Amino acid sequence: MQHPAELSPLGKSSAYVATYSPEQLFPIPRAPKWAELGLTADTLPYRGVDIWNCYELSWLLPSGKPVVAIGEFSIPADSPNIIESKSFKLYLNSLNQSVFDSREALVDIMVRDLSAAAGKPVGVRLRTLDEVSREGVTSQKGYCIDELDVTIEHYDSPRADLLGCDPARQVEECVYSHLLKSNCPVTGQPDWGTVVVEYRGAALDHGSLLAYLVSFRQHADFHEQCVERIFLDLQRLLKPERLSVHARYVRRGGLDINPYRSTESVAPSNGRLVRQ
């Protein structure tokens, strides 16, 4: 079955369009992937957001002088569509030789274009390099499971059967791993990320979680769907009072994508990790 992204610019040669071109944006419906996980738009067991950070953003002032900024885009997790990442990059490239009266005017235009593509309101924030520089690099809180002495045998597809827990012991904790890797479903290129699991529920066996996360290593799927699968597998196992799964992916093409899925209506931190 053809992946919807195969109709997008992903994996194909693309002309560099340097003037404003919203038609570059290519939406991909979330519904087919939700269906694979047994979900519909009306039965999503999580709330959340996909936070995109853009490090290659520029436009022209009315004087003709260029401006550079770092963009932050927040796409609701229940929006009908994701935006294919290369098309997002091509859209941002189209701003390079385009004149906008002000930063506020550009934000308004981007909100309109991105919201139309996603099918729900998208948040847009433009920050100066000095603002982002002052924030620096964030250290991930919680316990890192990467140094556990675990034998790994499965790499080809997510293996929920590897997960284990102790239902008799209830805990509240935050654990993370830098070893998440999956592949683009169209180009086959690797996507690298850090995944953070925060929950209150049956005690998760940390070694089993590490083996499970590594089982994504050769799996082909988009960032958003990988995080949703992790959330659902942990929810079924732990039956938690609360659960959040947050992935911070390494940037490609000047963009990083950071999906967040949670039982809570809490906005995630957008602190940049060292690989981002």
The catalytically annotated residue of 54, 165, 184, 226 is 184
Tokens 């602190």 found at: 271
- Residue 188, token pair as written in the block: 């086959």
Q: How far apart are the first and last CA of the chain?
A: 33
Backbone angles phi, psi at 118, to 5 degrees: -75, -30
The residues, any chain, with a CB within 8 Å of residue 96's CB and separated by 6 or more, are 18, 58, 59, 66
Active site residue 233: no
Among 89, 72, 85, CA closest to 21: 89
Active site residue 184: yes
Find residue 128's DSSP bridge partners.
Answer: none
The catalytically annotated residue of 191, 221, 233, 256 is 191
Among 117, 19, 109, 112, CA closest to 59: 19
Residue 117 burial (CB < 10 Å; 0-12/13-18/19+)?
buried
> How, if at all, do strands 255-262 and 242-249 pair?
antiparallel
DSSP string spanning 155-210? Answer: -SS--GGG--EEEEEEEEEEEEEEEEEEE-TTT--EEEEEEEEEEEEEEE-HHHHH
Residues acting as catalytic residues: 184, 191
